[in-house]
Amino acid sequence: MTEPRDGATAPTATEPLLHVADLHTEFRREQGEPLRAVDGVSFDIAPGRALAIVGESGSGKSVTMRTVLRLLPRTARTTAGTARFQGRDLLTLSARDMRRVRGRDIGMVFQNAMEAMNPTLTLERQLTEHLLWHGICGKAEAKKRAVQALADVGIPEPERRIRVYPFQLSGGMRQRAMIAMAMITQPALLIADEPTTAVDVTVQRQILDLLAGLKERGTGIIMITHDLGVARYFCDDAVVMYAGRVVERAPTRDLLDTPRHPYTRGLLGSSVEVGGRDRPLAPIPGSPPDLARRPVGCAFHPRCAEAQLPRCREDQELIEISTTRAAACWRAGDDDD
């Protein structure tokens, strides 16, 4: 397992690697109330586990992760919450300390490697400067580690390839190079935002296998994905987000086998990757709400085939169904496990 650095404490059996509680992030608007993009989100992740964050476009997955990483646009403001990582609250760290944590203790992989990498630097410069900047080793060692990192992610001829620029690589190779960069510091936590969306199925599988190797070595992985097949294949636990809130949380298998929130059932019914193969796809009617006009009560109720009014117009907190499961629907506990 990777060791925490800089006086950060190792997670104990009772303390998760990352504990996110009651996170609130809003966007300023020219007119009107701010948009509540993340509205009371909580979740935990343990070392060596993978957590999927799923939900339709606009549900708040990326803003949640950008809040934790403190990579929000200027128009956004985090108004409440904590994100305890290795004993420290990321939300109150100084900007300098946060830059040290980001990219070193927390690795990041994004959907589009071209955006995440510097197009003007060779892979060697990107990888070695990353190590040097974080003070992890000296120049000669950095070069060795950079070649090794490329080899580790299955880039052939790493000694030669290290001299190329990102645009000279295929999409799949670039994605691997970005993973190499995220892994080279041996982060305790890796946050991957749709890491396999832009690549074909074969590369997708290879990338997931790479990430699985990291997980086995004790790295915690948060994967933002709208692909429930990827979540099932790779992630131990899952949270489902809708309109900025967590509507269901469970071990992935349980979530997909016996979804308790009507929205989760809707996602499954409309998924090609899971459950949609043997029966016709049933897309969820309507579209996610405009956050400026969030429906009262359960934000999903106007699209929910099971809604019962006026009950569903009341606010609904997450209900603990068991020690590992919770869902934000008043009927979620109807058939307990």
Ligand X SMILES: Nc1ncnc2c1ncn2[C@@H]1O[C@H](COP(=O)(O)OP(=O)(O)OP(=O)(O)O)[C@@H](O)[C@H]1O
Kindly list the residues in this chain that would bind ligand X in the complex (CB under 6 A): 27, 35, 37, 55, 57-63, 73, 75, 226, 291
Do residues 20 and 241 touch, judged by C-beta distance below 8 A? no
CA 70 – CA 63 distance, rounded (Å): 10
Rank residues 47 and 81 by Cβ distance to ligand X and give the closer one. Answer: 81
Whole-angstrom Cα distance, residue 303 to residue 282? 13
Q: Cα separation of 264 and 168, whole Å?
A: 41
CB of residue 53 vs ligand X: minimum separation in angstroms?
A: 8
Rounded least distance, CB 111 to ligand X, Å: 8
Q: Which residue has the tokens 């200027």?
A: 74
Nearer to ligand X, 47 or 55 (CB): 55
Q: Which is nearer to ligand X, 69 or 155 (CB)?
A: 69
Q: Are strands 237-242 and 50-54 parallel, antiparallel or unpaired?
A: parallel
First to last CA, the chain: 34
Measured between alpha carbons, how far is 267 from 16 in angstroms, rounded to an integer?
A: 28
Between residues 75 and 168, which has the closer beta carbon with respect to ligand X?
Answer: 75
Nearest CB to ligand X, comparing residues 23 and 190: 23
CB of 221 to ligand X, least distance (A): 17
CB nearer to ligand X: pick between 29 and 311: 29
Tokens encoding 171 = 């999409």
> How far apart are alpha carbons 133 and 214 in whole angstroms?
23
In the complex, least distance from residue 332 CB atom to ligand X, rounded to whole angstroms: 22
Smallest gap, in angstroms, from Cβ of residue 242 to ligand X?
9
Question: CB of 54: closest distance to ligand X in angstroms?
Answer: 9
Place of tokens 């799949």: 172
| Stretch (H or E) spanning 41 | strand 35-45
